[in-house]
Amino acid sequence: MSKVRTLILRAPGTNCDAETAFAFQQAGAVTSLVHVGELIRREQRISDYQIVVIPGGFTYDDDISAGKVLANELRLKLGGDIERFIEGGGLILGICNGFQVLVKAGILPESLRAGKPLLTLVANDSGRFECRWVHLKVNRESPCIFTKDIERMYLPVAHAEGKVVADSEVLPQLNIVLYYADENGNSKAGYPHNPNGSVANIAGICDASGRVFALMPHPERYIRGTQHPQWMRQGVRKYQDGFQIFVNAVKWAQSL
């Protein structure tokens, strides 16, 4: 069986591309680091891949608002390619800055594709950059392919604009995948468990197909036990909480 091809999208300011590529490689995929300019110039094509990832970072210095400039490039110059990729069964993963990009490009949630910008991400309630570890509870009713057979996760966050705000019209329609929670799984816990003040403690969402997934925490930063600051106290498993997300994506893409 041929290996799954994964496109890791880069732009000026991307800084989690290498870690994300490594995570997918460990899960059995072949990865390519592709600059957005290569896609725009047709030197690379999204259709040649089974998975597209927008990793974390501060693309274009987060000018205007976090992820907005790259989102405009995707929407205006690659919108048709992305839509065909989704319709063809491809997987899209957005991590942190990737979450911001997918929302501001109108790719998530589906209501945005219809031209109704009723959800966005804004500055954290704390008014500062939040860099901490958070507990996450997975919505078992979510159709998300990436979180199959996962109940809880413990992952790091690192963002200044991670607060999900949503119009009352769109909130009941969202496919919420991840909730910020406390160590007991309470998904209504406030700060610091919810690091940014997101409505309904939302940490990740997907589309109705479960194939387009975005989350603020960084699963690529915790695929091995030694990536945790207390690993010597806790002991080390070969693979840790974030790794299953990449394994699930690769397994699914192998069927395409």
- pLDDT, residue 168, reads 84
> Model pTM greater than 0.75?
yes
- pLDDT, residue 167, reads 87
- pLDDT, residue 230, reads 73
Strand partners, 252: none
Instruction: Determine the Cα–Cα distance for residues 14 and 158; give it in Å rounded to an integer.
Output: 14
Give yes or no: 35 in active site.
no
Q: What is the mean pLDDT of each run of 10 residues along the chain (256 residues)?
A: 90 97 97 98 97 98 94 96 96 98 92 66 97 96 96 97 91 94 96 97 97 98 84 71 97 90
The catalytic residue among 19, 206, 220, 228 is 220
Q: Of 65, 56, 50, 48, nearest to 13 (Cα)? A: 56
Give yes or no: 218 in active site.
yes
- pLDDT, residue 115, reads 58
Can you list the domains of the chain with their CATH numbers? 5-253 (3.40.50.880)
Are the C-beta atoms of 65 and 104 separated by less than 8 Å?
Answer: yes
- Three-state SS letters, 11-79: CCCECCHHHHHHHHHHCCCEEEEEEHHHHHCCCCCHHHCCEEEECCECHHHHCCCCCHHHHHHHHHHCH
Give yes or no: 220 in active site.
yes
The catalytic residue among 16, 19, 73, 96 is 96
The first and second tokens of residue 151, run together, are 């109940």
